[in-house]
Amino acid sequence: MAAISAFLGKHVLDFICGGAAATQPINRWAALAWGTPNSTGASELNTSIGYSRLTALFGAAASPAGSASITAAMTFGPFSSNQSILGINLFNGSPVNSSDQLLYGTLQTARTVAPGDSLVVAAGALTVTIA
Amino acid sequence: MPLTSFMEKRVLDFICGGASAAAPGGRWLNWATGSPDDSGDSVGPFSSRRSVTFSPANSPAGSVANSVAVSGATASAAATVRGWNLYESSVGGNRLAYGTLTVTLGCKSGNDNPAFSAAGLKMTIT
């Protein structure tokens, strides 16, 4: 199953097929997950540990590769508690517990942060692909 | 849901915002006598592309289908229809998507008009 929310899936199909107005997301915000995110739950971290969503800026999609990647690094933290991080979501707004989920996925390597740690997602390290 | 490289880039730019992304200006269908793919449409001997009107996409199902039957293209030679292509215009333009039929259609020259009934063409996000 594609890692796209039902909300965005409808807008994408309407964008392609024109059966209804398709609203393009105005912004993209990256949101970290303590669990495995899916279309029914983002498993987003709590703000009490020094976490907040960050703006995700993407470059133009590559063709025929069919992918788009972030152009600027995102630095989450510093965190104030130990926390496992398994996944990442994209939302169309901020703060935590608001807005519409767009996409979700799991990290290639799960991370565990300790107090004082930051998690950096380097430019180019977050990629959206159409398979 | 097989999208062409052209449409994949448009969709990704629509989602991610890295470049402007204009929605297709129209949707037009023609019939293929081979299995179309990203490199070729395998268009068969049919008179013209036909306009396709889709219903609003279903959520959370993640699917969309044509709301009106798509028909009217006459075979100019005997041919077996195996697939379809979707374009953004009635002539020329960019190809958007393609697919193969679940059942092939044998068409006689000058008489047969292959068609999709309403809801017969369905695209799904998988």
Which residues are A33's β-sheet partners? Answer: A44, A87
Over residues A27-33, the mean pLDDT reads: 98
Over residues A108-129, the mean pLDDT reads: 97
| CA torsion, ordered A77, B16, A11, A20, to nearest 10 deg | 140
CB contact under 8 A, B125 and A71: no
Higher-pLDDT residue of B41 and B61 is: B41
Over residues B44-68, the mean pLDDT reads: 92
CB contact under 8 A, A61 and B64: no
The per-residue DSSP string of B35-53 comes to: --BTTB--B-SBS--EE--
Tokens of B32: 């293929």
Using pLDDT thresholds of 50, 70 and 90, give the confidence band for residue B1. low
- What is the amino acid identity at position B15? I
Closest alpha carbon within chain A to B51: A17
Read off the pLDDT of residues B69-78 as tens digits, 9 standing for 90 and up: 998 888 888 9
CB nearest to B126's CB, from A1, A7, A16 = A1
Contact between A37 and A45 (Cβ < 8 Å): no
Q: B-chain residues within 8 Å CB-CB of A39?
A: 60
CA distances from B96 to A67, B23, B124 (A): 17, 11, 14
Using pLDDT thresholds of 50, 70 and 90, give the confidence band for residue B108. confident
Q: Mean pLDDT for chain B?
A: 92
Over residues B37-59, the mean pLDDT reads: 93
**pLDDT score of A4:** 95
Tokens of A81: 């508690």
Does any CB of chain A come closer than 8 Å to the CB of residue B19?
yes
Contact between B47 and B76 (Cβ < 8 Å): yes
CB contact under 8 A, B17 and A25: yes
CB nearest to A28's CB, from B5, B11, B16 = B16
CB contact under 8 A, A24 and B14: yes
Does any CB of chain A come closer than 8 Å to the CB of residue B68?
no
Global pTM reads 0.94
Does any CB of chain A come closer than 8 Å to the CB of residue B38?
yes
Sign, Cα dihedral of A36, A39, A41, A45: positive
| Cα of A66 to nearest chain B Cα, Å | 6
Instruction: Inform me whether the pLDDT recorded for A46 exceeds 70.
Output: yes
Q: A-chain residues within 8 Å CB-CB of B10?
A: 15
- Could you give the CA distance from residue A32 to residue A48 in angstroms, rounded to a whole number? 14
